[in-house]
Amino acid sequence: MNRLFWVLAAAVLLILSLGVGEGPRLAGGAAGFILPSGSQPSWGLSAVRAPEAWEITRGTEEIVVAVIDSGIDRTVLALADCMWINPGEQAGTGRDDDGNGYVDDVHGWDFRDGNADSLEGSRLNWHGTFVAGLIAAAFDAESGAGGVAPQIKIMDLRFLDSRGLFFASDWPKLAQAIDYAVDNGARIINLSIYAKIEPPTIVRQALHRAAQENVFIVGIAGNDGARVGYFGRYPEVFTVSAVDQEGQPASFSNWGPEVDLTAPGVHVLSSYPGGSVRTGSGTSFAAPHVSGTAALMLSLNPELSPSELRSMLQSTAADVGRSPGDQHTGAGLVDTAAATGAAAGR
């Protein structure tokens, strides 16, 4: 009798420790990530050591990167799971459910056409989809393409027209897009666009507000083979140049003291509207490697400020055989694994 009592008592204690009807309560687990057998990451992912970073984290959905660009084709399978969903908005209601001033803005806003969806209205330019893919697309084992931070979320803020251009009359739209990103929870803004003329005060003020609100702004050096242009000239912008597979500055990549870091930007692979994977070159495609890296860092340590992100990214950069502070490559090549490790306190 006594033995039966103790057996029953032990069983009850085990059930209580697990939680009745809940099963074992998860407290942790392994964090390793294994690429599909036989697959090889693209040269860009390999160069920044993204697969090594994925052994620490592939990102969290709480971190949102706003892509202010030419719109994103979210029907691309590799991007389907990484699109931001506005938690306060219900699709198709025709109402501004969350009271933010935008109706049905489920994935962001199309500032080009003035509606809730980049897939409605004027035709998308391919550029924004390509940029988004480099930040957060799911890894494609066949091609090796994928995003640096495949488990974060992308906010789609369309600004450029179907040719990938904008005009002086569009400056207010850009300021509104920046404000939208800040007001709706983006921690990073990827600004893979350039300006041929100095932006007006309204845009500079929007960038300053974003920085004051702890939003990390990643921009480009530009593709003229000349001095860094706008928006990379602004101190609020973390400016990225481009290197090729040999680690040499791309011939088209702009240079100057404003260059903070460099990243792969020649013949890199990413998603294209419709779902194909293609090759592209430009500082526009170097910057997303840095945005993705910063997103992984914030996934591990969301308290990091823009200045702390800047410092960690530069202090962990890989040597490209040029002097520190070189005007073509800045502090060096972004090292996603080292930067992520630093954010994790390793």
CATH number at residue 299: 3.40.50.200
Question: Is 16's pLDDT higher than 60?
Answer: no
Residue 34 within any structural domain of the chain? no
- pTM as predicted: 0.89
**DSSP class per residue in 124-179:** PPSHHHHHHHHHHPPP-TTT----SSTTSEEEEEE-S-TTS---GGGHHHHHHHHH
> Over the Cα atoms of the chain, what is R_g?
22
DSSP 25: P
**284 an active-site residue?**
yes
Domain count of the fold of the chain: 1
Q: Is 71 helix (H, G, I), strand (E, B) or coil?
A: coil
What is the rounded distance in angstroms from the CA atom of residue 312 to the CA atom of residue 309?
Answer: 5
pLDDT of residue 25: 34
pLDDT of 36 > 90? The answer is no
Query: What local confidence, expressed as pLDDT, does residue 308 receive?
Result: 98
Do the domain assignments include residue 325?
Answer: yes
**pLDDT of the residue at 323:** 79
Residue 241, domain member (yes or no): yes
User: For residue range 305-344, what is the model confidence (pLDDT) as tens digits?
Assistant: 999 999 999 999 999 988 777 999 999 999 999 999 999 9
For residue range 127-164, what is the model confidence (pLDDT) as tens digits?
Answer: 999 999 999 999 999 999 999 999 999 999 999 999 99
Task: Considering the candidates 110, 117, 127, 156, report the single residue annotated as catalytic.
Answer: 127
| Domain limits for position 217 | 43-343
Residue 20 lies in a domain: no
Nearest alpha-carbon partner for 308 in 238, 206, 225: 238
**3-state SS, residue 83:** strand
Tell me the pLDDT band of 38, cut-offs 50, 70 and 90.
low
Q: Is residue 62 included in any domain, yes or no?
A: yes
Alpha helix (H) residue ranges in the chain: 2-18, 43-47, 50-54, 127-136, 171-183, 201-212, 283-300, 306-315, 336-343
**Is residue 30 in some structural domain?**
no
Residue 19 located in a structural domain: no
- 203-245 confidence digits (pLDDT tens): 999 999 999 999 999 999 999 999 999 999 999 999 999 999 9
61 CB neighbour count, 10 Å cutoff: 13
Which residues, listed in sequence order, are joined to residue 237 by a DSSP beta bridge? 217
Q: Which residue has the tokens 């962990």?
A: 316
Are 57 and 115 within 8 A, CB to CB? no
31 is a domain residue? no
Query: Of 192, 241, 281, 284, which is the active-site residue?
Result: 284
